[in-house]
Structure 1
Amino acid sequence: MGRLVPAVTRALDILELFLEGDGTLSAPDIVRALNLPRTTVHELVTTLAARSYLVPVPEQPGRYRLGVRGYQLGSRYAEKLDLAAEGQRVAREVAETCDETVHVAILEDVDVIYIAKVDSTHAVRMVSANGRRLPAHCTSVGKMLLASLPEEELNLRLQECGELVALTPDSITGHDALREELGTVRTLGIAVEHREANPDVSCVAAPVRDSSGAVVAALSISVPMVRWSEDRERELTELAAKGAADLSTSLGHRGGR
């Protein structure tokens, strides 16, 4: 690898400062935040403004905000972004950490569709496939995605789907019971299901958000009951949340809701 160029590093440090607070900064603000010489900051800000990476804030002399060039670069990045490919990459990283089956799924009507999957290396593991469709209410990813819907949209989808099918004796089959479960998911920010889609498997799932903060997918970790325990659930809950956050970051999400 070549060496880092100090001037470029400093310019990028300046740009990244604008991701915090109200998105406006003055040269003195930057000097204090980065502990750089005033002359250096002035030259870098002038250069960034000349290239439209920064623009002056109207009616606030001396203050700047991000310019259109950053938006253009971000838009080009978003155009090339592939949720399935990014999901597969992150799922692989999560699976390498826990050695359990990891899925990324999206919601279609009241079903989930798996768009990325990495298997556990254990002999006993969950069997599934990309493209597989399951009733959302029976899965942790589905519960996570249903819980993210606006109430009016959730009501409409449940009304149109009618009776909830049962995949196992533990599947939720009543709308009221499902609504109660989704309320818990919203409160916790994590979804769990025990033997609801497969009588031998439990899963945990966390939300994946795009640059606007909208939930566009969910990432889950599936574990055979022979390896499930309360301690393992806590461990995998944290790992699923981290994996989902990493995938969200790759989609342009900056944190928060």
Structure 2
Amino acid sequence: MEKKYWVPALEKANDILQEISGQPAALKLIDLSKRLDIHKSSMFSLLATMESLEWVQREEDGTYSLGARLGLIGNAFFKQYSLIDLFRKEAAVSKTKLGETIQLAKLEQREVLYLAKEEVPSPVRLASEPGKKFPAHATALGKALLSALPESEFHALFSEEALEPQMTPYTIRTRSELHSQLAEIRSVRYAFDLQEAVVGFCCVAAPVFDSRGIAIAAISCSMFQHVWEEKKELAIREIGSLARRLSHGSLS
């Protein structure tokens, strides 16, 4: 958007929400003022307005958390996607078979947006919470979705040879390498992430298609690297089966 249409107060409110979402019930007015370089009086006015709108909530100790209104808005966002309801039902079966967490995401430009996940009990919680985004080139989900794009769209998204950001030492570094992987993914209909997004975790993903044959989402299974070889073949089969069961659902 052109800056002449920009509303600075909204940008500041967005920055405040980002900070609070990263550390809920941990930051006070003075902390937010220093972090965002917003004068205390302006920060007071912003927070007071956001509190009245229920965008934030002031705790008894003076720290701030996200407000109930944002929860309602977030729920309304995810309710747009009828595929999520079907995913929760079908993925519950797959996670039991695999004993691993299953995730659903869609492509947004060069990132994947996580829509839902079915978790199994684990000492380590995956960072792929609904609403989070990760670079598409660093994830199995992203590669599965990128593989379904027309060549022209792929090259429009990745106009430069170097890929950024590099999430781990194993992340794909060049557009050429990514392009080569996508050709193989199109052939087998599944993609791998071998510690490319998070060190210590491997993942397999498959695209979900609508009735027109367009990839509208992808599903994945993530697991610790040390159990990957043991479960890889089972995960490939189950994720492929789940993707077929979900395909032809609707995603607005």
- In the superposition, the TM-score normalised over structure 1's length comes to 0.62
- Residue 130 of structure 1 aligns to a residue whose secondary structure is coil
Contact 1:90 1:243 in 2 (8 A): yes
- Residue 126 of structure 1 aligns to a residue whose secondary structure is coil
Question: How big is each residue's C-alpha offset from its partner over 1:145-204, in whole Å with a ceiling of 9 and x where there is no partner?
Answer: 001000001110112797421000000011111111111111111101100000010000
Change (3 A) 1:193 1:222: same
The letter for the 1-side match of 2:237 is E
| Structure ID, larger Rg | 1
Partner of 1:103: 103
Question: How big is each residue's C-alpha offset from its partner over 1:109-161, in whole Å with a ceiling of 9 and x where there is no partner?
Answer: 01000101011223345343111100000000100000100000111011279
Contact 1:100 1:222 in 2 (8 A): yes
The letter for the 2-side match of 1:232 is K
CA RMSD, aligned part only? 2.1
Determine the C-alpha separation between the residues in 2 that align with 1:106 and 1:124: 24
Partner of 2:87: 87
Matched, 1:196 2:188: no
Gaps spanning 5+ residues in structure 2: where?
Answer: 1-79
Change (3 A) 1:195 1:81: closer
Determine the C-alpha separation between the residues in 1 that align with 2:173 and 2:145: 17
Change (3 A) 1:161 1:106: farther
Partner of 1:34: none
Contact 1:193 1:202 in 2 (8 A): yes
Determine the C-alpha separation between the residues in 2 that align with 1:115 and 1:81: 9
- Residue 149 of structure 2 aligns to a residue whose secondary structure is coil
Determine the C-alpha separation between the residues in 1 that align with 2:180 and 2:161: 18
- Residue 137 of structure 1 aligns to a residue whose secondary structure is helix
Contact 1:140 1:192 in 2 (8 A): yes
Change (3 A) 1:126 1:226: farther
Partner of 2:232: 233
- In the superposition, the TM-score normalised over structure 2's length comes to 0.64
The letter for the 2-side match of 1:228 is W
Contact 2:201 2:222 in 1 (8 A): yes
- Residue 105 of structure 2 aligns to a residue whose secondary structure is strand
Change (3 A) 1:237 1:162: same
Partner of 2:77: none
Change (3 A) 1:109 1:142: same
Count of matched residue pairs: 172
Partner of 2:245: 246
Determine the C-alpha separation between the residues in 2 that align with 1:194 and 1:115: 22
The letter for the 1-side match of 2:134 is L
The letter for the 1-side match of 2:233 is R
The letter for the 1-side match of 2:139 is T
Contact 2:161 2:174 in 1 (8 A): no
Determine the C-alpha separation between the residues in 2 that align with 1:219 and 1:194: 16
Report runs of 4+ in structure 1 exceeding 6 Å deviation.
Answer: none
Partner of 1:116: 116
Partner of 2:179: 179
Question: How big is each residue's C-alpha offset from its partner over 1:5-29, in whole Å with a ceiling of 9 and x where there is no partner?
Answer: xxxxxxxxxxxxxxxxxxxxxxxxx
Gaps spanning 5+ residues in structure 1: where?
Answer: 1-79, 253-257
Q: Percent identity?
A: 31
Change (3 A) 1:81 1:102: closer
- Residue 87 of structure 2 aligns to a residue whose secondary structure is helix
Contact 2:163 2:172 in 1 (8 A): no
Partner of 2:155: 155
- Residue 193 of structure 2 aligns to a residue whose secondary structure is strand
Determine the C-alpha separation between the residues in 2 that align with 1:108 and 1:81: 15
Determine the C-alpha separation between the residues in 2 that align with 1:238 and 1:249: 19
CA displacement at 1:251 relative to structure 2: 4.3
- Residue 228 of structure 1 aligns to a residue whose secondary structure is helix
- Residue 88 of structure 2 aligns to a residue whose secondary structure is helix
Partner of 1:5: none
The letter for the 2-side match of 1:247 is L
